[in-house]
Structures are given as C-alpha cells and as structure tokens.
Amino acid sequence: MAGIIRSSLSFIVGTVFGVYVAQNYNVPNMRKLADTGMAMFNHLEQTYRKPKKRGEEDDH
C-alpha cells in the first residue's frame, strides 16, 4: 500500500512541476523540434546517398 502512495505522490509532484514550468517558461514544442530534425535528416540522406547500381529496386 505504501508503494502505491509513494509512486502516486511522485507522479503528482512531477505533473504539477511540469505544468508550472510549461506555464511560466518558454518550453520548446518537442513535436515540432522532432519533425524539423527528421526533415533535416531526410534531406541529408537524400543528398549524400550512394547512387544506385543498375537493376536495383527502391526499398519504398
């Protein structure tokens, strides 16, 4: 029983702290940041990929 209360208390404290930080500080949008990173990675991959040999199929 004490384990459930202790884990719930730490979850609640973490949630309250996260809400406070999100409301009072300029926290970046992580989804937008991840999407931008993936777009940059895809661009680099397409730019520096080895040319295909004759007869090879595309994986997509």
pTM of the model: 0.46
pLDDT of residue 29: 86
pLDDT over 80 (residue 59): no
- pLDDT tens by residue, 33-46: 999 999 999 999 98
CA distances 52 to 19, 45, 60, Å, are 50, 14, 14
Residue ranges per domain, the chain? Answer: 2-48
| Helix, strand, coil shares, percent, the chain, to 5 | 70, 0, 30
Inform me whether the pLDDT recorded for 58 exceeds 90.
no
Tell me the per-residue pLDDT of 5-53, one tens digit each, with 9 for 90 and over: 888 999 999 999 999 998 999 888 889 999 999 999 999 998 888 777 7
- b/e sequence 29-56, b meaning 16+ C-beta within 10 Å: eeeeeeeeeeeeeeeeeeeeeeeeeeee
